[in-house]
Chains A and B, each alone.
Chain A
Amino acid sequence: MIELNKFRQKLIETYKYSQDRINLVLKFIGGLLFFFMLSSVSTDTISVPKKLMFVLLCAVITSFSSPGVFIVLCMVASAIFIATASVETAIIVFIVFFVLFLFYGRIFPKESLLFIVMLVGYKFKIPYAVPLFAAIYVGARSIVPVGAAVLFSQFEYCFDTMVSMSPTSGFAVTNLPDKLLEVFTYLCNEIYAHITGALFVMAAVLIALIIGWAISSLHIDHEKEIGMGIAAVITVFGVFVAIILGGANVSVTGMPISVVISVGIVLIIRLFDDLPDYKSTEWVQFQDSNYFYYVKAVPKIKAARNDDYSSGRQYRGDE
């Protein structure tokens, strides 16, 4: 355990020492993987080298850009890739993303990244890691992007049908209004038919997120772990209720497994955060001329150093 703690500390120190460079590389790799995954929706109408060059260009822009620029880039790239399969579907998807951008993405660009991450999570069947992570580290601001991502994923199955209804191979500008209307009508009918189940699932996930955030904000021992556990349990039961009462389109067997794996992922992320040592908690009471102070001091777990000077004290910008 001590060796693991030392290794963890070493990793954190290595990251903090070269934070800028590591962030640049991680953003590039993340952008590359994300846009490569996004390019899977496109058809063979654009050649593989052109597709790879576009993905590379997007990854390079991602590594140097702010969250707001990245979100706009995602919108444009998804529209371009989808347009290779179906122009009408691309227009509708772009309008949906644009409205989300106007209502939320412009105002809270960093929190909007949760929307994109959650869609990626759905692709890898571990979407619940995002609301569990957001409950602990982001808070109530994550309600909108998480809710929007849940709703979006509930109707993701319509995408294939929309593409088959209006493929790019049969595209003609004169037919655009009719095809667009046809696809729009199909989407509206599907939303109208299945909106109840989708709203149930969204409500279950958001309630779990809010309760998890509330518990992790309490001043108790292991508040984050308890908050995460309770949020996970509420997610499982809430989604089951959504399936039974709302007829939601969620896998009964896959969902609990996905939640368990998501909890594991968030716990691994938590390992790289400052961990409190609750066994060494101290309660202190003192006063000044205006206030009485009741302080609970919980030390952080740090690996012991042999010598402060020889090991090289880490300089932190906030000292």
Chain B
Amino acid sequence: MSIYIIFLNYVMISEETEVFYLEDLRKVRAMINLAIYDKHEGETDRKITSNYKRDYVYKRGLSMRLGVFLGCIILVLIYYAYMLFVKDADVFQLIGEHIFIRMGIGIAAVLTIYTFFCSFSYRREYHYAEKRMDIYEKRISWINGQKSKHAGKNHKKDEVI
């Protein structure tokens, strides 16, 4: 903030070269923006966008599925403990092909639901990280006076930042 006020005062003093200092001011503001972004989200966004979207969603999903599967196994063990020790159920009633098939279907259903909802969340996360990195690179290109590598026929004309 103090840098901003110093430059603001600089602009007011030097009226004949006002345009030149205003241009510097815009670049300083852009650099401050970039520094703030780097400090907070830059590292995380770089890690996210270093993968392809599919790879990122797959890796996160795999980690999620492993955790949920482990959680399901723990719940199954708790259920078995409840049936064996609290309800005094017969052990042979709890060990059967149909029991395992039902549990397998249940676990598969839970994993499918989690995969369905979490994949939306991971894709959105990647999309926003990619968007922020795009803006970041455009601003760096503008500061360096280069044409942005993302400029193309379908892109709108870059506004003055």
Contact = CB atoms under 8 A, between A and B. Distances in A.
Interface of A: 17, 95, 98-99, 102-103, 106-107, 181, 184-185, 188-189, 309, 312-315, 317, 319
Contacts, number: 49
B85 A317 contact: no
Nearest to B118: A107
Nearest to A96: B78
B70 interface: yes
Q: What secondary structure prevails in chain B residues at the interface with A?
A: helix
Interface stretch (B31-39, B140-148, B152-160): B31-39
Nearest to B1: A315
A95 B82 CA distance: 14
A188 to B, nearest CB: 5
Contacts of A181: 85
Contact of B86 (A99, A106, A185, A314): A185
A99 B37 CA distance: 35
Q: What secondary structure prevails in chain A residues at the interface with B?
A: helix
A95 B71 CA distance: 10
B4 A313 contact: yes
Interface in B45-76: 63-64, 67-68, 70-71, 74-75
Nearest to A100: B71
Contacts of A99: 71, 74-75
11 contacts: A103-B68, A103-B71, A107-B64, A107-B67, A107-B121, A184-B85, A188-B86, A309-B8, A314-B1, A317-B36, A319-B29
Interface size grouping (class) on chain B: 20 to 34
Interface of B: 1, 4-5, 8, 29, 32-33, 36-37, 40, 63-64, 67-68, 70-71, 74-75, 78, 81-82, 85-86, 114, 118, 121
Given A17-B1, A99-B75, A102-B74, 9 more contacts: A102-B67, A102-B68, A103-B68, A103-B71, A107-B121, A184-B81, A309-B5, A315-B4, A317-B33
A312 B74 contact: no
Nearest to B87: A188
A312 B68 contact: no
A95 B121 CA distance: 27
B85 A312 contact: no
Contacts of B8: 309
B125 to A, nearest CB: 11
Nearest to B9: A309
Contacts of B75: 99
B88 to A, nearest CB: 10
